[in-house]
Amino acid sequence: MNRNGSKKKARTVRVWSYDEAKKAVPYISAIMRSVREDALEAQSHKRTHQRLSDKPGRADRTTLVAQTDELWHANEAQGRFDDDLAELHALDVFCIDPVAGEAVIPFVHAKKLAWYVFDLFDDEDHLRQWRYHDDPLDTRRPIADALTEPTLTA
């Protein structure tokens, strides 16, 4: 149940193979660049708006126009950011840090949910690490470990 007492709907998440994820890297990279740019732009306009609002004294007409303009630009950038995230979610790719350019892509390893960690700024290979769903967010394992299915003993 969620906060208002209604039941949450279960959502099936697509799991990816490593080859599928590698083939999607150029597309995911393009979306993640947009996510990052739009997040930074919204943040910048919000900060400028706040700085203008925090000026002591009564705002003059020029300041009021600038505040309104900054707020409008912040909302526009936020809308684009939300659209970018929706595009990622449609792929079942989830942004974990827009400014750092990090996202996760679901897969199954040892019959457990796991995540390829996408890093926009890893020039060599955007999918170099992974983590289990239960791991702390900062856990990173070498991708080579995910490419071999471990032997499970009962």
Q: Which of 120, 112, 118, 148 is nearest to 130 (CA)?
A: 118
If you average pLDDT over every residue of the chain, what do you get? 90
Output 147 or 72, whichever has higher pLDDT.
Answer: 72
Work out the pLDDT band at 13, boundaries 50, 70, 90. Answer: confident
Pairing of strands 112-119, 94-97: unpaired
Tell me the sheet residues that pair with 97.
102
Work out the pLDDT band at 3, boundaries 50, 70, 90. Answer: low
Q: What global pTM score does this model have?
A: 0.83
Q: Which of 80, 88, 100 is nearest to 28 (CA)?
A: 88
Residues composing the chain? 154
Q: Which of 149, 154, 115, 119 is nearest to 134 (CA)?
A: 115
